[in-house]
Structure 1
Amino acid sequence: MTNIKRTDKNILLKGLKLMGGALACMFSGPSLIYISQTKIKPPIDMVILIIAIVLCCLALYLAYKGINTILDSMFKKSSN
């Protein structure tokens, strides 16, 4: 039997879910940074800014993990 490399659909779906989470964070993080700079109220501004920075960092992490997972589903050998 020939050893044909195929995409693992379950791992690909996991990677796409991670990329979807990254996309949501990529939009909400900068939006919250903009909102925090519009001077709502001083104590709330810092809380919103901290949450926004965490979301931006989370977007970078999720995008990295998502791309790695998608590439693993396509190019890694399966252990079957």
Structure 2
Amino acid sequence: MENNKTDKKTLLKGIKIMVFSLFSFFIGPTFMHMALNNKEKPLYMPMLIVGCLICAMAVILAFRGINTIMNSIFKKE
């Protein structure tokens, strides 16, 4: 008979990744909003690029976080 318990260490790792993802989901659009409101400033393009990269990172982190949490619950190794 198998012991089906959640791996707490892996679960905490997944939750930590999800916290960084949540942080990125708010910071990325904020950078993009600040860049798009100041099109005449010299930092327009760098801020827009950074905002887009942070948004992409948020989606990737969310996928990795959910995947890690599911692996901790269902013991996929």
TM-score, length of structure 1 as denominator length: 0.89
TM-fit CA distance, 1:38: 1.0
Distance 1:15 1:46 in 2: 33
Aligned-residue CA RMSD (Å): 1.5
Q: Write out aligned runs for 1:27-46 (5 A).
A: 27-39=26-38, 41-46=40-45
TM-superposed deviation, 1:42: 3.1
- For 2:42 and 2:6, the matched residues in 1 are separated by 50
Deviation at 1:51, TM superposition (A): 0.4
Residue type at the aligned position of 2:61: L
Q: Which has the larger radius of gyration?
A: 1
Q: In structure 2, how many angstroms separate the alpha carbons of the residues matched to 1:50 and 1:77?
A: 36
- 1:46 alignment partner AA: M
Where structure 1 has 5 or more consecutive residues not aligned to the other structure, the ranges are none
In the TM superposition, what is the alpha-carbon distance from 1:48 to its structure 2 partner? 0.5
Distance, in Å, in 2 between the alignment partners of 1:77 and 1:53 is: 32
For residues 6 and 77 of structure 1, the distance between their equivalents in structure 2, rounded to whole angstroms, comes to 12
**1:12-69 alpha-carbon deviations (Å, 9 max, x no partner):** 0000000000000000000111100111643201110000000000000000000000
Name stretches of at least 5 consecutive residues in structure 2 with no aligned partner.
Answer: none
How many percent identity over aligned positions?
39
